Every structure is written in structure tokens, then in C-alpha cells.
């Protein structure tokens, strides 16, 4: 699997889909699955910018992996988001249940992220929620990337501030697909 990571609005979904379409891979977005499958209080919490708990997230990912099958390459967007989720994923790698080909980390500034998210117009994209997501990204996701590196997972940091096409070209080059 090729994992796309970055704060909401960095462009990971756009780039993940583009990569999947360019090379003919399935594209799995945890955000899309959450918006489709989560309801009640958990959905209200999610709309306010809160992340789902590790147990709920891992349970959902296990269901998605069972449907897709992890014996083929695919693009994963938005998972893991905590060290506990990363540890679960790394244990799956250790037990040869899955393979992580690479992690693509899309990096961009908070100002660009805010502008992109406010322009897409989703209900959960408020200035307050965006600021909270960026802080959670720094506190939760950046340590995951370090954990991946410490466990021998290839991580490519990609500048997410150019055009969609330029960023896609950088992703393709990083994965030796250009």
C-alpha cells in the first residue's frame, strides 16, 4: 500500500486519487468512509473537528481492508492518525498481513491549508476546526511519520504548495513511476 499523509487540505486526497488513477490502483479514503458510515454522536463530534477513537477507526479500517483485500497494491488516504493506529498498522506489516510500499507526506503551510479548506465549503471546515486539525497533525501525525521511519518504512516528503500537476509529478518521481 502507498499511504498519503498530511493535514486536511494539504492535497493528499487529490494526489492519492490522481496517483491511483494514473497507475490503476484502488484509492481508499478513510475520510470518505467515515462520512458514509458514521452517524449519531460520533458524526456530530466528527463534524466539529474531533477525530474518532483508535478502536472505532481500526475497526473501520479492518472492514475496509477485508473488502478490498490487502494482497494487492492500493492507495490509502488518511490513516493512521495516531501512534496507536500506526502501531497496529506496523504490527500488520510485521505479521505479513499487509505491505507498506511507501508513505507520501504532503507538506504545506497553515495559511494555504485554511484557504483550501474554506474554499471547498464542507460543513466541518470552519476556521476553528481547521486550526484544531493542524495542531492535531503536528501533535499526532508528525510522530507517526517518525515512527514509520524508525521502522524502516520509506517516507517521501512532498511540497504540497505547487499546482496539482507539479505535485503529482513530484509524487510520481518519488515513487519511481515518472
Residue 152: predicted pLDDT: 97
Structural domain that includes position 125? 2-174
Take residue 105 and report the three cell numbers written for it.
Answer: 507526506
Q: Which of 16-20, 35-39, 116-120, 171-175 has the lowest mean pLDDT?
A: 35-39
Find the radius of gyration of the CA atoms of the chain. Answer: 15
Residue 58: predicted pLDDT: 94
Q: How many structural domains does the chain have?
A: 1
Q: Burial code of 124-152, b = ≥16 C-beta within 10 A, e = fewer?
A: bbeeebbeebbebbeebbeebbebbeeee
CATH number of the domain encompassing residue 135: 3.40.50.300
Residues 28-85: tens digit of each pLDDT: 988 788 777 777 887 777 777 677 789 989 998 998 898 888 889 999 998 998 999 9
Residue 129: predicted pLDDT: 85
pLDDT-derived band of residue 167, with 50, 70 and 90 as boundaries? very high
Q: Judge contact between 167 and 160, C-beta under 8 A.
A: yes
In the predicted model, is pLDDT for residue 142 greater than 70?
A: yes
Nearest to 154 by CA among 98, 101, 93: 101
Residue 39: predicted pLDDT: 76
Report the SS3 class of residue 156.
strand
Residues 92-134: tens digit of each pLDDT: 999 999 999 999 999 999 888 888 888 887 787 888 888 888 8
Residue 49: predicted pLDDT: 64
Amino acid at each position: 500500500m502507498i499511504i498519503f499523509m498530511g493535514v486536511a487540505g494539504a492535497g493528499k486526497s487529490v494526489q492519492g486519487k490522481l496517483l491511483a488513477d494514473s497507475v490503476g490502483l484502488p484509492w481508499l479514503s478513510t475520510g470518505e468512509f467515515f462520512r458514509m458510515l458514521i452517524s449519531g454522536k460520533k458524526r456530530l463530534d466528527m463534524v466539529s473537528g474531533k477525530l474518532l477513537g483508535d478502536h472505532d477507526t481500526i475497526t473501520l479500517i479492518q472492514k475496509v481492508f477485508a473488502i478490498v483485500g490487502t494482497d494487492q497494491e492500493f492507495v490509502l488516504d488518511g490513516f493512521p492518525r495516531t501512534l496507536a493506529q500506526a502501531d497496529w498498522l506496523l504490527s500488520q506489516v510485521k505479521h505479513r498481513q499487509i505491505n507498506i510500499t511507501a508513505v507520501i507526506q504532503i507538506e504545506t503551510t497553515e495559511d494555504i491549508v485554511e484557504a483550501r479548506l474554506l474554499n471547498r465549503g464542507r460543513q466541518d471546515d470552519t476556521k476553528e476546526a481547521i486550526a484544531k486539525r493542524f495542531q492535531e497533525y503536528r501533535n499526532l501525525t508528525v510522530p507517526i511519520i517518525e515512527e514509520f521511519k524508525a521502522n524502516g518504512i520509506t517516507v517521501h516528503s512532498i511540497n504540497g504548495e505547487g499546482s496539482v500537476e507539479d505535485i503529482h509529478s513530484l509524487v510520481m518521481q518519488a515513487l519511481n513511476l515518472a
